[in-house]
Structure 1
Amino acid sequence: MSSSVSGLVPVHIGQPEPGSERDRTLRQWQEHGRDRPAPMRVPADVDWPSHGLQPRWLGAESSDCPAALSPGYSHNRGAAEMKRLLAGARQRGEIALVLAVIGQVNEDRTHNSLWSGDASVNVGDLFTSVGGQRLPAGTRPQIAPDLSGADRDLAIRLLTRPEGSPWWSLHLRGVHLERGDGSGSEDHPAEGALDPILVDALGDPVVAAWTSPAGSQRWYVIPDGTSWDNVLGWLVHRALPEYVPGALRRARSPYFVDPDLQSVGEQTARQTLDNLEAQYADEKRQLERTLREAKEKAEPVRYGLLYGSGSELVNAVAQVLADAGMHTVDLDEQLGGTKSADLLVSAEGVSARLVEVKGVSGPAQEHLVGHLQRHLETWPQLQPDEPVSDGVLIVNHQHKLHPSERTAEVYSRPEFVASLESLPVKVISTVELFNWWRAEDWTAIRTAVLGDAATSWRPAAPTSPEQSPSAPRRRWWTGGRRG
């Protein structure tokens, strides 16, 4: 196999052809502990012709291959093929491209905790490698600054990896060797440069390109668990055209585009398309960041209102009232202890209210209203200079149930509900409060807490655009049980 199939670019793959006799023999040796186990980096189900590529597995000619995929599949195997590949690239005056995979998605992390998650890839020669430390779950990489061309395209593609996919923090390292006869040691510093493509929150690379000192080799280190279809598409459409265009020309690849032979219209359209893809990637990244920030802000309120109790619930209610433009005071903190209600809520030109917040796992007890009434009665002795007119009882009732399974109203006994009309107390469920908050119906929240006087009042600096007082109140859940 010394020449490529017409139209297909040959690529060296550092493992035996899946299902071949060599593959079966190697696996048998590994099962009996005769060889170092190694993962199958390149899967057997890749549709190579659809990518315009011809696979050259271990044992096949590699000197005419412009690129290598996951070389060094197993100990002492693949070295000869890589030497021929590099020699062929030097002879042609081309850059040798290499895609190397680091880490193992399914590694056993329960043993040897000191080195858990550590991985490495040899690059260039025996004395230089890229080390990797597995990062915590939930790592969200970002595109490294000042990327362009094929490297930026690779970064964009790898950002589409499934959520939860592992990443490894990369660093370049050399080798320190101790002589076997005890006569001394040798230090071999790392050679070449490691350029970030994707970085973690600390700015450390998680995808990078290593370039040899002479610039004749370019190794891309990517994390295990990356889609090979995605990477091979990048190799053919972006990497080879930018770094080794002669390889596509020699193979007469249908993907080869010679800029010197393109019309002005073709070049303009291509550049416009590249700019559009880059703009889309930037906007998508910004929107994802905005969504993430909005979710991080909303989650404490959502969970606190719908499932919380105690201080967690009180804090969520206070945040909602503040979002609606009201001023809230934590009375437990101001007065010390539980001498009164949970919150004092006020607004300019509107009488202040006492707000009591309760969370109960079952139906709400009627005596909660009596507790708030007593707080209203004792308030003048606590704060005579701060008059209050009414009280608001906000209850997260049946909070062990999903909101759609709860009764729509906090209280349902007709006689008790009727008695509330004569009391200076209003009862609101946290589900109803949450529905107003998620819809940003600030007017509904202010009216529910401060009364009709709030319909003509507007905060000086609203946290978001206000809705009309006559706008219908949107609901999040329907079909709640009554009674």
Structure 2
Amino acid sequence: MRAREERRQRRAAVDEAAKYPLAPSSWPGTVLPAVVRGKSASVRSWCALALALVSSPSTGLVSVHVGQPEPNSEQERMLLAELQHQRDVGRRERAPRVPGDLAWEKHGLQPRWLGMETSDCAVAIEPGHFHNRGDAERDRFLAGAARRGELALVVAVIGDADGDELQRSLFSHYASVSLADMFTRVSGRRLPTGTRPEIAPDLSPADRDLAIRLLTRPPTAAWWALQLHGATTVRGDGFGGETHHPAQGTLEPILIDSLGAPVVAAWVSLAGDQRWYVLPDRVAWDNVLDWLMHKALPQYAPAVLRRTRSPHFVDPDLQTGDELSARAGLAELEERYTLDRTQFEQDLRVAEEKASPIRYGLLYGTGTELVEAVAAVLTAAGLSVIDLDAELGAPQSADLLASAPGSNRKLVEVKGAGGAAQENLVGYLQRHLDTWPQLRPDQPVDGGVLVVNHQHKLPPAERTAQVYTRPEFVAALTVSVVSSLQLFRWWRVRDWPAIRVAILGAEPSTVVAGPQPAPAQATSSEVSAAPTGRTRWWRKDRRGS
């Protein structure tokens, strides 16, 4: 009976010790929690052993306070049920930001959730008031860092990428982060979609690395312009008037928008003992954890990594000159690669946004979409293009009027055909040529061009090279006929002269166009002169595509 009770007390001691996972710096030796003092010697020894195992630095994991309930815990289940209820009644409450399935140990970190000891944590993520909880854990974290004489590193998130739309019309600053100083906060105003921040000048190595990492966020990611604010209080009894509390500390920009406003920043307390990083919602948390372990902690709190004997930490004080030089070179190489990749990705996005409507319009478009793509190509080739439907009203005349200095004007009719182009499409252009003198007698034209997106239901490689293939019909043509597929091929390689000759019939004497094709790129040379009078205009596609 006594042995059974002893085993029960031992298990209770181990369970009790697990509630106090404090590092040796906080508990000298194996100081026992008061709740197990006075127990038998056997129980006290088991508790001391359990506490030593829990608080031992030999695990090499750095403790991180996370200001939300532990994943899959009863507290989290209750919270999720409450959030669902709030959504059902039309209210929106912020959900936990930090995913529960992060690979903490992979990054050399150990999370401490709400309700766990935080005084020995080296970093806090989203600390503070969360659904009426978290203040005590945040305060113990800050007090522990101050007691050890270490810089308290904090990562806080501002904004709600899904929930700011309603507040946008109500408040100029509709997102905020409360800091350790109860009267100081960082507020945020959501910026337009597509904002591309820049790296702020004069950053520390760790902050610059963070800036580079955050620049890899998707182009549609949300950003908030940050500003430091104080507070104004009023006595509850109505006497004494208002009291203004100016903002404390400084806000150091890390990423800035095009107007110079910070979108990522670090708030530094007046005493310099706290550093709060304010990041936008929807950050890649694995990237943030990697930055904390390999950049932020080594620079701002290296003593933490030495104390925990983290295998992820390379102590520069123990490295040779060659090792330090090689590591510096690798770090510089990685930074250049990330910056170059980010720039190339941005250039690619811009190029795709510009090219996609033209490419799709020329290859698969009909109606207005096709007309706009043709107009964009002619403009890129240096031609002056007028949308006649907008100027005269559809269907008074052809779709476009093209011209260039030193050349005559041409009417351009644009048509689409899912299969083979019907021969009567030429009649539309001919009728517009016949009625043009009545519409614009002061602007004579010298013929016209029919642009046809034929067989657009087929893949481009399976379409016929020419719009019309019946020899008798081709021989009787009095206007130029160009396929939008051929226009696309010229446009793709920037063969502007070929486009101008195809539309105007000859290269104009003076023209300003886009960049000329590179010498290594194949350009089209199958363009012959456009018809004058009854002369037929035709070209042989030498590429056979």
TM-score range, shorter chain: 0.7 to 0.9
**Offset at residue 236 of structure 1 (A):** 0.5
Give the corresponding residue for 2:262. Answer: 205
Give the corresponding residue for 2:100. Answer: 44
1:1-150 equivalences under 5 Å are 1-3=21-23, 4=55, 5-6=57-58, 7-21=60-74, 23=76, 38-107=94-163, 109=165, 114-115=170-171, 118-150=174-206
Give the corresponding residue for 2:367. Answer: 309
| 2:149 alignment partner AA | G
Counterpart Cα distance in 1 of 2:302 and 2:443: 82
Give the corresponding residue for 1:172. Answer: 228
Q: Is the 8 A contact 1:323 1:463 kept in 2?
A: no
1:77-476 equivalences under 5 Å are 77-107=133-163, 109=165, 114-115=170-171, 118-183=174-239, 184-305=241-362, 306-307=364-365, 309=367, 313-314=370-371, 316-324=373-381, 327-328=383-384, 330=386, 332=388, 342-345=400-403, 352=408, 354-360=410-416, 364=421, 366-373=423-430, 388=446, 391-396=448-453, 401=457, 404=460, 408=464, 414=470, 418-442=472-496, 444-446=498-500, 448-449=502-503, 463-465=515-517, 467-469=522-524
| 2:515 alignment partner AA | T
User: Judging changes above 3 Å, is the alpha-carbon distance between structure 1 residues 86 and 460 closer, same or farther for their aligned structure 2 residues?
Assistant: closer
| 1:87 alignment partner AA | A
Q: Is the 8 A contact 1:309 1:396 kept in 2?
A: no
| 2:400 alignment partner AA | D
**Offset at residue 167 of structure 1 (A):** 2.9
Q: Is the 8 A contact 1:8 1:52 kept in 2?
A: yes
| 1:91 alignment partner AA | R
- SS of 1:145's partner is coil
Q: Is the 8 A contact 1:331 1:341 kept in 2?
A: yes
Q: Is the 8 A contact 1:259 1:267 kept in 2?
A: yes
Q: CA-to-partner distance for each residue in 1:235-272, whole Å, 9 max, x for gaps? A: 01000001011110111111222222211111111111
| 1:274 alignment partner AA | A
Q: CA-to-partner distance for each residue in 1:273-312, whole Å, 9 max, x for gaps? A: 12112212332233233223323432453355342535x6
Counterpart Cα distance in 2 of 1:387 and 1:225: 57
- SS of 2:124's partner is strand
Q: Is the 8 A contact 2:224 2:280 kept in 1?
A: yes
Q: Is the 8 A contact 2:298 2:313 kept in 1?
A: yes
Q: Which runs of 5+ in 1 are unaligned?
A: 479-483
User: Judging changes above 3 Å, is the alpha-carbon distance between structure 1 residues 85 and 330 closer, same or farther for their aligned structure 2 residues?
Assistant: closer
Counterpart Cα distance in 1 of 2:93 and 2:423: 68
User: Judging changes above 3 Å, is the alpha-carbon distance between structure 1 residues 63 and 110 closer, same or farther for their aligned structure 2 residues?
Assistant: closer
TM-score, length of structure 2 as denominator length: 0.72
- SS of 1:114's partner is coil
| 2:144 alignment partner AA | G
**Offset at residue 42 of structure 1 (A):** 2.6
**Offset at residue 228 of structure 1 (A):** 1.9
| 1:238 alignment partner AA | K
User: Judging changes above 3 Å, is the alpha-carbon distance between structure 1 residues 283 and 458 closer, same or farther for their aligned structure 2 residues?
Assistant: farther
User: Judging changes above 3 Å, is the alpha-carbon distance between structure 1 residues 234 and 402 closer, same or farther for their aligned structure 2 residues?
Assistant: farther
- SS of 1:120's partner is strand
**Offset at residue 375 of structure 1 (A):** 6.0
User: Judging changes above 3 Å, is the alpha-carbon distance between structure 1 residues 445 and 75 closer, same or farther for their aligned structure 2 residues?
Assistant: closer
Counterpart Cα distance in 1 of 2:202 and 2:63: 31
Counterpart Cα distance in 2 of 1:341 and 1:120: 53
| 1:180 alignment partner AA | G
Give the corresponding residue for 1:481. Answer: none
Q: Is the 8 A contact 2:433 2:448 kept in 1?
A: yes
Q: Which runs of 5+ in 2 are unaligned?
A: 1-20, 24-54, 87-91, 527-540
Q: CA-to-partner distance for each residue in 1:92-130, whole Å, 9 max, x for gaps? A: 332110011223344374589525992221112211111
User: Judging changes above 3 Å, is the alpha-carbon distance between structure 1 residues 117 and 403 closer, same or farther for their aligned structure 2 residues?
Assistant: farther
- SS of 2:341's partner is helix
Q: Is the 8 A contact 1:318 1:328 kept in 2?
A: no
Q: Is the 8 A contact 2:468 2:474 kept in 1?
A: no
**Offset at residue 172 of structure 1 (A):** 1.6
Counterpart Cα distance in 2 of 1:406 and 1:205: 52
Q: CA-to-partner distance for each residue in 1:143-176, whole Å, 9 max, x for gaps? A: 3334341111112222333454433332221211
| 1:16 alignment partner AA | P
Mean CA deviation greater in 99-108 or 127-136: 99-108
| 1:49 alignment partner AA | E
Counterpart Cα distance in 1 of 2:430 and 2:84: 77
Q: Is the 8 A contact 1:360 1:397 kept in 2?
A: yes
- SS of 2:334's partner is helix
| 1:242 alignment partner AA | Q
User: Judging changes above 3 Å, is the alpha-carbon distance between structure 1 residues 116 and 439 closer, same or farther for their aligned structure 2 residues?
Assistant: same
Root mean square deviation of aligned Cα? 4.1
Aligned length: 464
| 2:367 alignment partner AA | S
User: Judging changes above 3 Å, is the alpha-carbon distance between structure 1 residues 374 and 217 closer, same or farther for their aligned structure 2 residues?
Assistant: same
Q: Is the 8 A contact 1:15 1:73 kept in 2?
A: no
User: Judging changes above 3 Å, is the alpha-carbon distance between structure 1 residues 448 and 109 closer, same or farther for their aligned structure 2 residues?
Assistant: closer
- SS of 2:170's partner is helix
Counterpart Cα distance in 2 of 1:372 and 1:151: 63
User: Judging changes above 3 Å, is the alpha-carbon distance between structure 1 residues 117 and 408 closer, same or farther for their aligned structure 2 residues?
Assistant: farther
Counterpart Cα distance in 2 of 1:341 and 1:25: 64
| 2:187 alignment partner AA | G
- SS of 1:195's partner is strand
Counterpart Cα distance in 1 of 2:144 and 2:166: 44
Mean CA deviation greater in 260-269 or 98-107: 98-107
Counterpart Cα distance in 2 of 1:404 and 1:151: 49
- SS of 1:465's partner is coil
User: Judging changes above 3 Å, is the alpha-carbon distance between structure 1 residues 406 and 384 closer, same or farther for their aligned structure 2 residues?
Assistant: farther
Counterpart Cα distance in 2 of 1:377 and 1:106: 57
